[in-house]
Structure formats: C-alpha cells, structure tokens
Amino acid sequence: MNSDELRSKYIEFFTQHGHTQIEGKSLLPENDPTVLFTTAGMHPLVPYLLGEPHPAGKRLVDYQKCIRTGDIDSVGDPSHLTFFEMLGNWSLGDYFKEDAIKMSFEFLISPKWLGIPLEKLGVTVFAGDENAPKDEESARVWKELGIPESRISYRPKEDNWWGPAGSTGPCGPDSEMFYDIGKEPCGPDCGPGCSCGKWLEIWNDVFMQYNKTEAGIYEPLARKCVDTGMGIERTVTILNGKKSVYDTEVFAPVIAAVTSAMNPGGYTYGEDADKDKSIRIICDHVRSSTFVLGDPKAVSPSNVGAGYVLRRLIRRAVRHGRKLGMESLIPAALAVVEKFSGPYPELAAGKASIVEELRREEEKFLETLQKGEHEFEKLLPNLLKDPKKTMSGRLAFKLYDTYGFPIELTDELAGENGMTVNRAEFDEAFKKHQELSRSQGGQVFKGGLADQGEMAVKYHTATHLLHRALRMVLGDHVAQKGSNITAERMRFDFSHPVPMTAEEIKRVQDIVNEQIGKDLPVTMEMMSLDQAKAAGAMALFGEKYESQVKVYTVGKSPADFFSKEVCGGPHVERTGTMGRFTIQKEQSSSAGIRRIRAALE
C-alpha cells in the first residue's frame, strides 16, 4: 500500500463512520507564539478541543503536514524526519475511549482496510500517577477486542501522556498501537513501547480529559475529546515490510533526483553508507524546505524564527549536496513538488517561488562558504607554525559565528592541511551560543535572537529604541507585532491603523539617533514577570514567559531609563556603538499593522 492509498483509505473509513473531512492547516501556526511550526495534527484544533464549536461538527478527519526540528541532528539515520504527514480523527465531545479504540482496531485489523494480523498488534496504556489514575478503561476495551494481557503494556507519563501544544492547554492519557516486526525480545520485560526495536509505533489515540493550567494543575475538561495521530511515512514503511522510511515510494522520486544529480555520472543508492546518509539528509531537508516555501503562509530564509530553521535546513542540505558533487537542490525540490502536489496543490501553485527562494539561498550560502574559506586561508600560515597542528575551537567558532562557516567544513580544511580542530573548545562556545538562541523542538526564541553576530545584536537593540520612539510619537496603542533581523538590516512590525507621515518618520528617527548619541548603558536584570511590569517594563505580544524573565534597560540607571523591555537578548553594552539609524521605508504589513525597514550605518 502506498502513501496515497493509505491517505485515501483513512479518510474513507472515518467518513463512513460519521466524520467530516476538514482541510489540513498551514505549517506556520496562527496566533501561537509557543512554536515555530505546526508540530502535530492536533495543533490547529486546540481551540476546539478547549470547547469552541467547530463549524464542521463533532466528528472530524484530516491529514496534516507537520514539522518537528527537535531531532534535526539525528536526520540521516533510517527513521528520523523533520517533515511528516499525520492522519487524524477527532471527537469533540462526541465519542470517547471505547468507540475510538474500536474504530482504530477495525481500521488496523480488517482485511478491507489495513489487514494487519492480530498477533502482530500490541498496545500501551497510561500507568497512572499523582495527576491522573491508571487507564483501566482502555485496557479493558483492548482485552475485549482480543489483545492478550501479555501485549498490553502500562507505561508512565513520559511514554503515554500527550501534553499540551504549549505549556498549558488540553492534554491527557493516550493509548498507542505497535507493530511487532518479529525480532527476538530483548528481555523478559520487552513489550509494546520497548525501545529495543521489536515494537514500532504506528498509531496513537489521545484522550483529552484534562486542561493543564499555568499553575500546573490538571483540571478535568467538561467536554472530553479524542485526538488521534497516525504517521503516514512510518505506517507505509511497516505495511510494505521496509526497514527504513527512505526505502518507501514516499522518498523514491526524491532519492532518484538526488542520485542522478550527483557527479560524476550519478550514483546507486545503497552502495556507500556515508553517501547514503548524506542523501537521506538532503531528501528530508529539501522536502521540509519545499513544503515551508510552498505553504500559503510561506516564510523566507532568515536569521530569526521559522525563517532561521528554514535557512538551517537548506544550508545543511547544500553542504551535503556539495560533498556529493551536486550543483543545486532544485531538481530534488521539483521532485517533491511533483510527488506531493496531488494532496497538497499549494506546492504546484507555488513552484516558481519555491525554485526562486531556493536558488537565492543557495547562492547566498555559497558566498558564505567562499568568505569562510578565504578567512581560513588567511589564518593558515600562522596555524601551520603551531607544532601541535591544532586549530583552537575559539577560532573555529569565530568562523562559524562571524561568517556562518560550518564546523564540518573547518574540520575538512584543517584535515587537508594536516591539522585537527579542538572540538571540545568549539563545542563549549557553541553550547553557550545555543543557550542564547535555542531553536530546537520548534521553540520560539522568546524575544531573543537566532543570529548572535555583532551587527544583528546592534539591530536587536535598535528594535527596543524604535519601539519606544514609536510609542512616544504615535501613542501607547503601538505594540510590537514581529521583527526580522539580518546582519544588513532590520524589519519591525507594529500596530498602527494608518500610514505614518513624513514628519512622524523623521521624529522617530531623530529620537532613536538621540539615544544612540547619548551613549546610554544597556543593562540586564532577572526578575519575575510581575516585578518586571511593576518596574515599567514592556512585554512582547502574546508571549508565554517563564517564571523568571530577563529585563533589558536602556538608560542612565534602572530608575532613569529610555526603554525597559522583557526580552531574551542579547544587546549591545552601550548605544554609542550602534551607528546612525535610518528608516528606509514605512509600509503596510497587514490590516492594522505597519512595517518599518531600517538600517544602521
């Protein structure tokens, strides 16, 4: 069974059981600052799980495109993906555990649908803890359907509990379905949910019974819901007896496009383990990037937020393509468009822009690589004088931080010249960098900055000065609605109903430059959010903050300040280092939102 057949069978089965098919949503979530991408099928439906009525009714079915980047560094092995498709059926206050489990069982076991042998099926249920009881009801239903006790595992919260999409919201126990691939058990306790590889998860029924509050309390929901998820790629792998998601028809045309583009003269996938790993990374990252670029709410590669993750995906794919002799990722992207435009027609509609954005980012990255290689060559004479033939991790990190030069390429260049890189020292510097700008798991930067370079930090500080100046000139209704920062310029979105006049633009620009001219100190304090607000600090739009926050103050003292904001940082130490601020353009971003583009010279 191929992926198109699985997708259509799933929709057919649940529509026959009274579900209405709904459209999957954008990869870029609406009004949710806690994640950069839609990470699960339930994500777009959170308001309805919390009680808002859905226009399509109480029984729904869909397929949803998702991205998770928490395991991005594991991509390249046979199973990890950043982009995946999730099949889901939903009950919004209609059926609950018994009916959900019975429908799942029928779809898995019936010869009309997937036809999985009963003896291959095992399940897990929630073992219970101080917040919620053991899920005896689910276990009872599975037993009644014919799953023996020996193939029902009771698992703790980390295995069988679906948490909210953010830090709060609907959540509850789940029951997961596993396929026995036939391996010998790893021990007497080996059962469904064991990580030894004998049992592969194919489906998950989540029972939304609770709402987790900001105080960490699990309150029973008045309206219980069901949310399920079946990963298309993994299920197709199992149904076809394959060992890897990359061995299925899902990836076949993309792998073919990559291998035929390899020089010299192409390559047969499966002949070389190292090359195969690079091919898998390219296929996954190009597929993810193509879907992001082809999304109706597409973002472009940038140094912040979702654009930063997109840039990382593209550049990692370019780097591995370079190792294989590929000139461009575009043939692989076109294969993705052709393969998936049936269920996702937005890919065909956006083909031209997908190709153009990829081409532009490839060119930018190749310029980055050339600059980095040039800087390495400048460092080389002194490096070769070192009798230890070791390049410091500090220098390697500077190449990465200043020029975006990947450490793997620094390792390669060092090796070609008979040297090694002090990776422990590099890793320490990189770890500090990550702590300032975490992007893993799809998390937003919490007002922080992905790019920690000198100019980006200056621009980040400038957003604080601009925000305050806009409120001084236009009024207190002005609130930041987003920003995008590169090493060359800044973009700042803010709430304001009408275009700014030329006089207002000049006044704002003059106020910012006045604060830069005063060479004001920029200081940071840690405090609670309540303390921050009491001290006059502004907090960003719709953010969900930790219990302790960073407050950055621009001014002579914490009491005598120009700007005070809750922010993740980093910022310059004094405004006098920033240069002259110039507003280049003021324009509409969307209804009621204006956008300023500005530069520091």
Integer Cα distance of 339 and 450 in angstroms: 33
**492 against 124, higher pLDDT:** 124
Instruction: Confirm whether 108 is domain-assigned.
Output: yes
For the packed helices 407-416 and 393-403, what is the interaxial angle rounded to 10 degrees? 130
- Whole-prediction pTM: 0.69
What pLDDT, in 10s, does the model give residues 509-545?
999 999 999 999 999 887 888 898 899 998 864 444 5
**155 against 442, higher pLDDT:** 155
- pLDDT computed for residue 41 by the predictor: 81
Q: Which residue has the tokens 């930790």?
A: 546
User: Are 413 and 487 contained in the same domain?
Assistant: no
| Domain harbouring 149, CATH code | 3.30.930.10
User: Are 256 and 233 contained in the same domain?
Assistant: no
- Structure tokens belonging to residue 131: 């917040």
- Structure tokens belonging to residue 481: 């609605």
- Residue 519 dihedral angles phi and psi, to the nearest 5°: 50, 50
Instruction: Confirm whether 592 is domain-assigned.
Output: yes
Mean pLDDT, residues 122-133 taken together: 94
Reported confidence tier of residue 230, pLDDT bands at 50, 70, 90: very high
Q: Which of 174-188, 363-377, 423-437 is most confident?
A: 174-188
Contact 568, 446 (CB under 8 A): yes
Of 223, 242, 261, which residue sits at a domain end? 242
User: Are 359 and 419 contained in the same domain?
Assistant: yes
- pLDDT computed for residue 448 by the predictor: 39
Instruction: Confirm whether 448 is domain-assigned.
Output: no
Instruction: Confirm whether 596 is domain-assigned.
Output: yes
Integer Cα distance of 174 and 138 in angstroms: 9
- pLDDT computed for residue 416 by the predictor: 83
- pLDDT computed for residue 343 by the predictor: 96
Mean pLDDT, residues 144-169 taken together: 89
Other CB atoms within a 10 A radius of the CB of residue 452 amount to 18
User: Are 156 and 302 contained in the same domain?
Assistant: no
- pLDDT computed for residue 195 by the predictor: 87
- pLDDT computed for residue 541 by the predictor: 46
- pLDDT computed for residue 442 by the predictor: 35
Mean pLDDT, residues 247-273 taken together: 92
| Domain harbouring 503, CATH code | 3.30.980.10
User: Are 48 and 183 contained in the same domain?
Assistant: yes
Integer Cα distance of 231 and 248 in angstroms: 14
Least-confidence region, from 17-31, 434-448, 475-489, 545-559: 434-448
User: Are 229 and 283 contained in the same domain?
Assistant: no
Of 179, 213, 242, which residue sits at a domain end? 242
Q: Exposure string (b/e) for 209-234, b if CB count within 10 Å is 16 or more?
A: bbbbeeeeebeebeebbbbbbbbbbb
What pLDDT, in 10s, does the model give residues 93-110?
999 999 999 999 999 999
Task: Check whether 256 has a pLDDT greater than 90.
Answer: yes
Mean pLDDT, residues 78-92 taken together: 93
- pLDDT computed for residue 166 by the predictor: 62
User: Are 160 and 270 contained in the same domain?
Assistant: no
Reported confidence tier of residue 90, pLDDT bands at 50, 70, 90: very high
Instruction: Confirm whether 446 is domain-assigned.
Output: no
Q: Give the chain's mean pLDDT.
A: 88
- Structure tokens belonging to residue 293: 């670029």
The fraction of the chain above a pLDDT of 90, given in percent, is 60
Instruction: Confirm whether 447 is domain-assigned.
Output: no
Q: How many domains does the chain have?
A: 3
Task: Check whether 313 has a pLDDT greater than 90.
Answer: yes
Instruction: Confirm whether 76 is domain-assigned.
Output: yes
**491 against 284, higher pLDDT:** 284
Find, among 423, 450, 473, 476, the residue nearest to 586 by Cα. 473
**176 against 73, higher pLDDT:** 176
Task: Please give the full DSSP string across 439-457, using - where no structure is assigned.
Answer: -GGGB--TTB-S--SHHHH
- pLDDT computed for residue 544 by the predictor: 44
User: Are 391 and 514 contained in the same domain?
Assistant: no
User: Are 470 and 370 contained in the same domain?
Assistant: no
- pLDDT computed for residue 7 by the predictor: 97
User: Which one-letter amino acid corresponds to residue 295?
Assistant: D
Mean pLDDT, residues 218-245 taken together: 93
Reported confidence tier of residue 44, pLDDT bands at 50, 70, 90: confident
User: Are 404 and 477 contained in the same domain?
Assistant: no
Q: Exposure string (b/e) for 412-444, b if CB count within 10 Å is 16 or more?
A: ebbeeeebebbeebbeebbeeeeeebebeebeb
Of 440, 469, 490, which residue sits at a domain end? 440
Task: Check whether 33 has a pLDDT greater than 70.
Answer: no
What's the CA dihedral at 468, 473, 476, 477 to 10 degrees? -110
Instruction: Confirm whether 467 is domain-assigned.
Output: yes
- pLDDT computed for residue 438 by the predictor: 46
User: Are 272 and 183 contained in the same domain?
Assistant: no
Which residue range is the domain that position 582 belongs to? 454-600
User: Are 327 and 367 contained in the same domain?
Assistant: yes
